[in-house]
Structure 1
Amino acid sequence: MSPDRTTPSARQVELLEAAYQYVLDHGLADLSLRPLATAIGSSPRVLMFLFGNKDGLVRALLARARTDELAILDRLGQAGQEPIGLVPAADRVWAWLAVDEHRPLLRLWVEAYGRSLVEPDGAWAGFARATVHDWLAVLAACQPQPERDSQEGATRRTLALAVLRGALLDLLATGEHRRITTAVRHQLALLGP
């Protein structure tokens, strides 16, 4: 009998959280079920039973990472409030991205994004595209409606996203927070109204 895939068991949730913490520390690139299972107090057999196979586990881990990403983006959401504007929103996103304690999630995000581009099928399918749309939707929600609905508004939020993603890659590669933050703020100022 296979587990109910629609409602995860408490054990499945517990092991997913433990596996998520493991991949935040070790990445997904060379994920092997045996060391993972040992590290989280399980067995490869239990992981296979709960997640179907290694790809199923990777998909669950990517969904878990995306949940964290969306939670971050939701904090920018302007439900019931006036939009704060693209530049302040992008500045808030950068402030969050630049915090040292977020590096494990961001490295995992970059790894999954890259794998999604190189291996567009299987466990990674659609991750990069979905995350682009997630971020663009949040940036759009932060724009006043006339701007949000215009071609120029779409171009501006695409540029803001490109600046943030490029700066993130540079920050992860070098750790040079001050230099990169200065550049981000300079570019965001150019995006101002």
Structure 2
Amino acid sequence: MPPPSTSPSARETELLELAYEWTLEHGLSDLSLRPLAAAIGSSPRVLLFLFGSKEELVRRLLARAREDELAWLRSHEPATRGLAGTLVETWAWLADPAHDALLRIWVEAYARSLVDPTGPWGDFARTTVEDWIGLLARAQPASERRTARGRNRRTLALAVLRGGLLDLLATGDRARVDAAVRVAAAELELPG
């Protein structure tokens, strides 16, 4: 007898995508199965059957959000742009209003994973830092990647991106935050 299939059914995939679209609009922190199920044409019972628990559904939604982020990271080869160029280009992607909903989910999940590392949020913050540090490391010459200075410079670049994102989402002051990111990028180009 063959082992049971571990790949999701078509209905599970469909409901996950619908739940993801709903989550982009409504967030994750107050997720309740009943309103979610009604909004996506399902029932709490079906969601629990397909996903096992509300926590597992949240885990799967976070993984789905991360797929969007990782798709951009995989499509982006920063080696020819250097650290400063990658900072500016990454910021342009983060600051694009088309990504606001995804980035609000990211901020929510990041914060929740710091408070509740054992829940469905798990190690979201840590793995996100590793993902972005990896992108920034690839933007540096190999000789710089291995140095403390190189590590510090990419950590600074990540801090600028993360801080700028939080500021932009909080204030909507795109011009001011864009200008600050350009200043940080210029500082990263300076030898030192």
Partner SS, residue 155 of structure 1:
helix
**8 Å contact 1:83–1:144 — kept in the other structure?**
no
Structure 1 moving runs of 4+ over 4 Å: none
1:23 has 2:23 as partner: yes
In the alignment, what sits opposite 2:56? 56
1:7 has 2:7 as partner: yes
Give unpaired runs (5+ residues) of structure 1: none
User: Identity across aligned pairs (percent)?
Assistant: 61
Q: TM-score, normalised by structure 2?
A: 0.94
> In the alignment, residue 156 of structure 2 is paired with which amino acid?
L
Give unpaired runs (5+ residues) of structure 2: none
- 2: CA distance between counterparts of 1:122 and 1:186? 38
Partner SS, residue 190 of structure 1:
helix
**8 Å contact 1:135–1:161 — kept in the other structure?**
yes
- 1: CA distance between counterparts of 2:128 and 2:77? 16
Partner SS, residue 120 of structure 2:
helix
Offset at residue 149 of structure 1 (A):
1.7
Q: TM-score, normalised by structure 1?
A: 0.93
In the alignment, what sits opposite 1:46? 46
Q: Map Cα deviations across residues 19-53 of structure 1 (whole Å, 9 max, x no partner).
A: 00000000001100000001001111111011100
> In the alignment, residue 186 of structure 2 is paired with which amino acid?
A
In the alignment, what sits opposite 2:179? 182
> In the alignment, residue 116 of structure 2 is paired with which amino acid?
E
Offset at residue 120 of structure 1 (A):
1.1
Partner SS, residue 185 of structure 1:
helix
1:143 has 2:137 as partner: no
In the alignment, what sits opposite 1:132? 129
- 2: CA distance between counterparts of 1:55 and 1:5? 22
Offset at residue 77 of structure 1 (A):
2.5
- 1: CA distance between counterparts of 2:145 and 2:31? 41
Offset at residue 72 of structure 1 (A):
1.4
Offset at residue 5 of structure 1 (A):
7.2
> In the alignment, residue 124 of structure 1 is paired with which amino acid?
W
State the aligned residue count.
Answer: 187
